[in-house]
Chain A
């Protein structure tokens, strides 16, 4: 029962950073949704804005860490070229080529990885905008329902992008495990 270096980094990417992002989304969403004058006292609005802002910054940091780790550490392992004339059984260390070698799994690369590797980058950008606005306006967001609603939309799209990337990553890793 051991994990290789690559398996550890892949698990950190998906199960620590990715899962952390998805968990923090719930807290940030609940806080943003609650920042309304009819729901909170002034002190409550201040507390919720501070907590939501903290959660949103944590989301943004985790998302950036996940996409940088994914792009610059894990992705090069995934797309590494096997030696010329490599036997099919030797492809297990070259996930991209393992997927492409079998017609029934090629779609996991051509659709799954192609979408995942790009759409994931939208998540940290949108999460940063949400975090910045929560910090900048704080409890004042109670008085800016349009900004608050716009942030709810951005946050939800950010979650969608991270969820797509996370789900595809888990399925691709099942079809061609990173070893």
Chain B
């Protein structure tokens, strides 16, 4: 990162010219993106569980006045942070080349999160 800043300082008034060496450790960024997507998927999956399975709803009721939303969101935040710490530790110094695959996986996870929170999906699953 310091290399980047030094390079930028040297080309102060020119269009941003950042040397190739800057195109290195993007692992930390991709780990944050993938972990956020995993957190979204966790919200979707846990929401579907609580909407379709009464026992899960009871188990995830961490706070009575909030109901199972308290457990769904608390667990999802913990899953998000856990995945982030785990993936960050592995990727933080890496130059990621499979960024297309990571982005695709992230979008699928986010889609799971969006669909899982959409009530008609839970209604449909409950009716099966």
Do A71 and B4 form a contact, CB below 8 Å, given A144-B29, A150-B106? no
Chain B positions near chain A (C-beta within 8 angstroms): 1, 4-5, 8-9, 11-18, 22-23, 26, 28-30, 32-33, 35-36, 39-40, 43-44, 47, 51, 63, 65-67, 69-70, 72-73, 76-77, 80, 99-100, 103, 106-107, 110, 113-114, 116-120, 122
B124 CB to nearest A CB, Å: 13
- Cβ-defined contact, B13 with A38, below 8 A: no
Query: Contacts A126-B40, A137-B26, A138-B1: A150 and B33 contacting too (C-beta < 8 A)?
Result: yes
Top 10 nearest A-B pairs (CB, nearest first) are A129-B36, A76-B65, A118-B117, A42-B8, A143-B18, A133-B29, A140-B4, A114-B119, A45-B16, A119-B117
Residues in B with CB closer than 8 Å to A9 are none
Tally of A interface residues using CB under 8 Å: 47
CB-based contact A139/B8 at 8 Å: yes
User: Are B67 and A115 touching (Cβ within 8 A)?
Assistant: no
Chain A to chain B contacts (Cβ below 8 Å), 28 pairs: A37-B18, A38-B15, A41-B14, A42-B14, A42-B15, A42-B18, A67-B73, A71-B70, A72-B70, A111-B120, A118-B43, A118-B44, A118-B47, A122-B40, A122-B43, A122-B114, A122-B117, A125-B36, A125-B43, A128-B36, A133-B29, A138-B1, A139-B8, A142-B16, A143-B4, A144-B23, A150-B30, A150-B103
Judging by beta carbons under 8 Å apart, are B12 and A41 in contact? yes
- Residues of A with C-beta under 8 A to B18: 37, 42, 139-140, 142-143
A138 and B67 contacting across the interface, CB-CB below 8 Å: no
CA A16 – CA B39 in complex, angstroms? 26
A143 to chain B, nearest CB (A): 4
